[in-house]
Amino acid sequence: MDTKTAILQAILFASGEPIDGDKLAQSAEMSKKEFKQEIKKLETALDGTGIKLLKLENSYQLATREEYASYIKNALEVKKNAPLSQAAMEALTIIAYNQPVTKSFVEQVRGVDTSSVINSLVEKDLLCEAGRLDLPGRPIAYKTTDNFLRCFQLSSPAELPPLEDKPSQVTIDEILDERENSNEEV
């Protein structure tokens, strides 16, 4: 591994968190072209090791390979995480495919209260606040996080598998239109 590739590896290792590609290139004092070449070299250099390079949208992070997870858990005495509930998976799916969305949107689609489910997903760092919408009450919108991408082994939300095109699928525009129509009838 040459010095420039080693610099990228050292920065990513020390960070532990995803680092934006532009910031990483700037920190390593590399042009964008040089950075792209060196990041590919790093990825190649990590082949056959217990570490891999993750690309999360425009960010990069070092992570351990999945096949070594049980050994890592044994060494670190990590307790097995409880799997997500059906309700959490449903809410996460709705948000991932329609982000950013509000709790009320998720509740409208699911037909039940989702406050505790969404709060739990935020605590698990699978969702985060994406700002407030310019609607009455200024509701909080939610979106998926880099941790969501890591957990589901995606580089970006665009890599989510396509949904079946079913007429029963609801969009936020349909819900807003429905609310406007019901308010006009009153």
CATH number of the domain at 162, please.
1.10.10.10
Do 125 and 169 share a structural domain? yes
pLDDT of res. 62: 93
Domain boundary among 74, 106, 128: 74
Question: For residue range 152-162, what is the model confidence (pLDDT) as tens digits?
Answer: 888 888 888 88
Report if residue 70 sits inside a domain: yes
Domain boundary among 25, 51, 74: 74
Report if residue 176 sits inside a domain: yes
Contact residues for 158 (Cβ-Cβ < 8 A; gap 6+): none
pTM above 0.85, yes or no: no
pLDDT-wise least confident of 74-83, 120-129, 142-151, 163-172 = 163-172
Do 94 and 70 share a structural domain? no
Cα dihedral sign for 145, 151, 155, 161?
A: negative
Report if residue 165 sits inside a domain: yes
**pLDDT of 82 over the 60 cut:** yes
> Which whole number is the average pLDDT over 133-144?
87
The DSSP call for residue 57 is T
Q: What is the dihedral of CA 165, 169, 173, 177, to 10 degrees?
A: 130
pLDDT of res. 47: 93
Do 57 and 118 share a structural domain? no
Domain boundary among 42, 74, 106: 74
Give the residue, 181 or 87, on which the prediction is more confident.
87
Do 156 and 118 share a structural domain? yes
Report if residue 80 sits inside a domain: no
> Which whole number is the average pLDDT over 130-146?
87
- Domain count within the chain: 2
Do 168 and 138 share a structural domain? yes
Give the residue, 165 or 109, on which the prediction is more confident.
109
Computed over every residue of the chain, the mean pLDDT equals 86
| Other residues' Cβ atoms within 10 Å of the Cβ of residue 101 | 24
Question: For residue range 28-81, what is the model confidence (pLDDT) as tens digits?
Answer: 999 999 999 999 999 999 999 999 999 988 899 999 998 998 888 888 776 556
Q: Which residue range is the domain that position 124 belongs to?
A: 86-185
Do 119 and 159 share a structural domain? yes
pLDDT of res. 109: 87
Report if residue 79 sits inside a domain: no
Question: For residue range 83-121, what is the model confidence (pLDDT) as tens digits?
Answer: 888 888 999 999 999 988 999 888 888 888 888 899 889
